[in-house]
Chain A
Amino acid sequence: MQFEQTANCTIIDPRAKMAGLILFCLLSFFLHTVPVLLAYLSIPIIFLIFLKPSGRFFTKMEIGAGLFLSACILLYFWARAQCPIHLDGIASARAIVRVFIFTGSGLIFMLTTSSSRFILGLEKLHLPPPLIFVLAIAIRFFPHLLQEMELISNNLQGRGIGFYQWLRHPVYSGRAFIFPVVIRAIKKADTLAMAATMRGFGAPIPRTCRQKLTISTPDYLFLISLLIIGLIFFYCDRYAYLKWGM
């Protein structure tokens, strides 16, 4: 039941990873055909399968994401089958796939970046300290939140609020789930912020780091390969658009 980092990827500089993340997400806006977008989404999915964070809640999330994605594919085929083609349906399917692309690539970033290197990377980008503080807590906090959600969901099941109760009383069950999640999230973030403050985080002196960050060949190769992948998909997208439409 751990959602901690499954791989501490130190080869790629966190700044290069951040740039790659932004580039990867931005490129998805240049892709318009849903099948190509789905193929593009398969890249973060393959990475996530490789990283595979364990945990039952993660499995539940995977099942939920799979169902949602299947519904999105059905929506796409339904919209295409309409005469004339249902453009709003296709646009919705496209938007949903893009959300999955952002979530998947963001998740990869969080699972493969250590907090110290992330903070150092942000500092090298000369971001303001309060923003670094918030982002650093967020990256540390996200795996914890998933763990908390799993525990709360298990306890709710223990109180007899299972799948059927969720279906029969979604508002009541949802409220019972959200309450402790929000409260735990606030408490955990507060404690983490307090602990960081007590250890000098936010001191008005330049922060040092044992690990050194330098943009090197693997980082350039990483960004160039992402760009090449993007261009291939862009070409495929144009081709698919001309041949089959949206």
Chain B
Amino acid sequence: MSFINHQPLLSAHNVSFSYPASKNPVLTDISLDLYPGEILILAGPSGSGKSSLLYALSGLVPRSIPGTIRGTISLAGKDLSSIPNWEISKTLSLVLQEPEDQFFTMQVEDELAFGPENHGLQDQKIIKRTYQAAQSTGAESLISRPLHTLSEGQKQRVAIAANLTLKPKILLFDEPTSNLDEHSTARFYELIKALSREENRAIILCEHRLHGPCQYADRLVILQDGRLQYDGSPQILQNSSILKKWGLREETQALDFGSHFWEDRIPPAPILSLDHISFRFGRKENFFFTMGNFSAEKGEVIALFGENGVGKTTFLRLLAGLLTPTEGKILLQGEQVHRIPKKRRSRIVRLVLQNTDHQLFMPTVLSELTFCGDHQKALQLLDQFNLTSLENRHPHSLSVGEKQRLTIAAALIYDPRVLLLDEPTSGMDGANINRLIQVLKEYKKQGMTIVIASHDMTLIRAMCNRGIKIKA
């Protein structure tokens, strides 16, 4: 589709941006035009400035996010810096990475009505827009539900619907599929295509997983070190050397669930085993988890699959002894895992959860590793994970991908017998996924048992001997 005959809706000209504490600019001389009806994919390795560019294009910098911005951004022909935020929200919406973080109310209906209420629309108009937005996103059935009862995919839909109620001409998404399973991701892209067609909306998707969205995209923009490296057709991604050059994720086909890979097998000398366990969160909660049998032997890498909300994280927490099964036993080296004293258990089995912010406790990257571990080993791990240059940085100032590598390194410093990883690559680029695979393969050779809950087929194909699919 050709867009050049149209006036650009959003236009950036020689935009450079730097955060107050940073010496180097995070964006340098970015020029970009976005046309009505266009779907643009914004890609690049971790820390390349994708999110910062979205914040700049949405007018959040420097008003909500402090920093120095140069160059001009115009929205529908007007200088963005001269338009107040509330007026920008009529034309442009930004959907942030974590849907839950942006919810302002407790009920889906209230959340959808929040934007129109802020704009002082009349009751009938608010109700009409609320239902229209819910219909466009397939969230009609959720409208009367409390937000905390929704799955990740459903929350994502509500977050989009909440932004659609203002009828924006431009929608910006910051890594919208990083927490979604394959099925929800496919539905999400279908929705994006429909939203683009619906009112000739322009859409920018900032993504790590590129092959899904690129089937629907009109244009691909690649950033590296804050500079625009490529602006053109997404067809370029068919060349794998290009992906490697820019550190992007490679395409991996979905796995065949009927193949030998998925054959159920009971290892002769399992390090970790369970037999018919069940678990329930308190008496009030509806969530109920059951599992038949499962065992893992030394040096095995097992993949854990399932749609969002089926209980993969709960299962990992049970394996780590952080939760106690309501029925049944989980044995780690012959002992019930939740009965092993915490200090000893923390050295045998390590769990790395998806949200890294909850797992970083110290003021520097190095001290995060030396917190409970050996200094030499810490330096070695920093080198293995390419974090040496960041050893004096505050862990919370790192990018998502860097934090993920650091939390995995912090788990490996204990040399655990069992390592449990929950979506370890959701914020990583292609180069870092390959690095992680290499490191984990070394530990696998040394006999470490690894269980990985992930939607990332590159990681699973490269690492896992067996897979378990958890069903709802």
Interface residues of chain A, those whose CB is within 8 Å of chain B, are 1-2, 4-5, 8, 54, 114-116, 136, 140, 148, 151-152, 154-160, 162, 165, 176-177, 179-180, 183-184, 187-188, 190-210
Distance, CA A173 to CA B115, complexed state (A): 42
Distance, CA A176 to CA B342, complexed state (A): 17
Given A158-B350, A180-B361, A183-B357; A196-B123 close (CB under 8 Å): no
Q: Cβ of A116 and Cβ of B105 under 8 Å apart?
A: yes
Q: With contacts A5-B106, A209-B117 known, what are 9 further pairs, Cβ within 8 A?
A: A157-B342, A176-B371, A180-B358, A184-B358, A195-B104, A197-B64, A197-B89, A199-B114, A199-B118
Smallest CB-CB A-B distances: 9 pairs? A195-B102, A203-B86, A200-B118, A176-B361, A160-B346, A199-B115, A4-B148, A191-B101, A205-B120
List residues of chain B with CB within 8 A of the CB of A190. Answer: 64
List residues of chain A with CB within 8 A of the CB of B282. Answer: 54
Q: Look across to chain B and name the residue whose beta carbon is closest to the beta carbon of A154.
A: B322
Question: Is B231's beta carbon under 8 Å from chain A?
Answer: no
Chain A nearest CB, measured from B144 CB (Å): 11
Question: Is B360's beta carbon under 8 Å from chain A?
Answer: yes
Q: Produce 1/0 per residue, B398-440, CB < 8 A to A.
A: 0000000000001000000000000000000000000000000
From A180, A194, A201, contact of B118 by CB (8 A) = A201
- For window 105-133 of chain B, which residues contact chain A by CB distance below 8 Å? 105-107, 110, 113-123, 126-127
Chain B nearest CB, measured from A10 CB (Å): 11
Distance, CA A195 to CA B94, complexed state (A): 8
Q: Cβ of A195 and Cβ of B101 under 8 Å apart?
A: yes
17 residue pairs of the A-B complex, CB under 8 angstroms, read A4-B106, A140-B103, A156-B361, A157-B346, A158-B350, A162-B342, A162-B343, A177-B361, A180-B359, A184-B357, A192-B101, A195-B104, A200-B85, A203-B120, A208-B126, A210-B123, A210-B127
Chain B nearest CB, measured from A192 CB (Å): 7
Q: Look across to chain B and name the residue whose beta carbon is closest to the beta carbon of A183.
A: B396
Q: Cβ of A206 and Cβ of B148 under 8 Å apart?
A: no
List residues of chain B with CB within 8 A of the CB of A159. Answer: 346, 359, 361, 371-372, 410
Q: Cβ of A157 and Cβ of B322 under 8 Å apart?
A: yes
Distance, CA A204 to CA B147, complexed state (A): 28
Question: Is B98's beta carbon under 8 Å from chain A?
Answer: yes
Q: Look across to chain A and name the residue whose beta carbon is closest to the beta carbon of B342.
A: A162
List residues of chain B with CB within 8 A of the CB of A136. Answer: 104
Question: Is B449's beta carbon under 8 Å from chain A?
Answer: no
Q: Cβ of A197 and Cβ of B85 under 8 Å apart?
A: yes
Distance, CA A206 to CA B146, complexed state (A): 27
Question: Is B202's beta carbon under 8 Å from chain A?
Answer: no
Question: Is B32's beta carbon under 8 Å from chain A?
Answer: no
Interface residues of chain B, those whose CB is within 8 Å of chain A, are 58, 60, 63-65, 85-86, 88-90, 93-94, 96, 98, 101-107, 110, 113-123, 126-127, 146-148, 162-163, 166, 281-282, 284-285, 320, 322, 342-343, 346-347, 350-351, 353, 355, 357-363, 371-372, 396, 410
List residues of chain A with CB within 8 A of the CB of B120. Answer: 203, 205-208
Q: Look across to chain B and name the residue whose beta carbon is closest to the beta carbon of A113.
A: B106
From A8, A179, A198, A208, contact of B89 by CB (8 A) = A198
List residues of chain B with CB within 8 A of the CB of A188. Answer: 101
Q: Cβ of A210 and Cβ of B126 under 8 Å apart?
A: yes
List residues of chain B with CB within 8 A of the CB of A203. Answer: 86, 118-120
Q: Cβ of B285 and Cβ of A115 under 8 Å apart?
A: no
Q: Cβ of B343 and Cβ of A199 under 8 Å apart?
A: no
Distance, CA A197 to CA B116, complexed state (A): 13
Q: Cβ of A158 and Cβ of B351 under 8 Å apart?
A: yes
Q: Cβ of B106 and Cβ of A114 under 8 Å apart?
A: yes
List residues of chain B with CB within 8 A of the CB of A114. Answer: 105-107, 110
From A177, A184, A191, A208, contact of B121 by CB (8 A) = A208
Chain B nearest CB, measured from A121 CB (Å): 14
Q: Cβ of A116 and Cβ of B110 under 8 Å apart?
A: yes
Given A179-B363, A183-B357, A200-B166; A8-B106 close (CB under 8 Å): yes
Q: Cβ of B362 and Cβ of A176 under 8 Å apart?
A: yes
From B94, B147, B322, contact of A198 by CB (8 A) = B94
Q: Cβ of A208 and Cβ of B360 under 8 Å apart?
A: no
Q: Look across to chain B and name the residue whose beta carbon is closest to the beta carbon of A181.
A: B358
Chain B nearest CB, measured from A168 CB (Å): 11
From A8, A155, A199, contact of B163 by CB (8 A) = A199
Chain B nearest CB, measured from A8 CB (Å): 7
Distance, CA A155 to CA B284, complexed state (A): 24
Distance, CA A148 to CA B410, complexed state (A): 20
Distance, CA A205 to CA B166, complexed state (A): 15
Distance, CA A156 to CA B119, complexed state (A): 43
List residues of chain B with CB within 8 A of the CB of A193. Answer: 64
Q: Cβ of B360 and Cβ of A180 under 8 Å apart?
A: yes
Q: Cβ of A155 and Cβ of B353 under 8 Å apart?
A: yes
Given A115-B104, A179-B363, A199-B163; A158-B322 close (CB under 8 Å): yes
Given A151-B355, A177-B361, A180-B357; A198-B117 close (CB under 8 Å): no
Distance, CA A192 to CA B353, complexed state (A): 23
Q: Cβ of B146 and Cβ of A4 under 8 Å apart?
A: yes
Chain A nearest CB, measured from B94 CB (Å): 5
Distance, CA A2 to CA B58, complexed state (A): 32
Chain B nearest CB, measured from A171 CB (Å): 13
From A1, A54, A157, A205, contact of B119 by CB (8 A) = A205
List residues of chain B with CB within 8 A of the CB of A198. Answer: 58, 60, 85, 88-89, 93-94, 163
Interface centre among A1, A140, A199 (most CB of B within 10 A): A199
Distance, CA A203 to CA B85, complexed state (A): 8
Chain B nearest CB, measured from A197 CB (Å): 5
Chain A nearest CB, measured from B342 CB (Å): 4
Q: Cβ of B102 and Cβ of A191 under 8 Å apart?
A: yes
Q: Cβ of A155 and Cβ of B106 under 8 Å apart?
A: no
Chain B nearest CB, measured from A233 CB (Å): 32
Q: Look across to chain B and name the residue whose beta carbon is closest to the beta carbon of A204.
A: B86
Q: Cβ of A202 and Cβ of B86 under 8 Å apart?
A: yes
Q: Cβ of B322 and Cβ of A194 under 8 Å apart?
A: no
List residues of chain A with CB within 8 A of the CB of B117. Answer: 116, 207-210
Q: Cβ of B285 and Cβ of A54 under 8 Å apart?
A: yes
Distance, CA A199 to CA B162, complexed state (A): 8
Distance, CA A98 to CA B458, complexed state (A): 58
Distance, CA A177 to CA B371, complexed state (A): 13
List residues of chain B with CB within 8 A of the CB of A140. Answer: 103-105
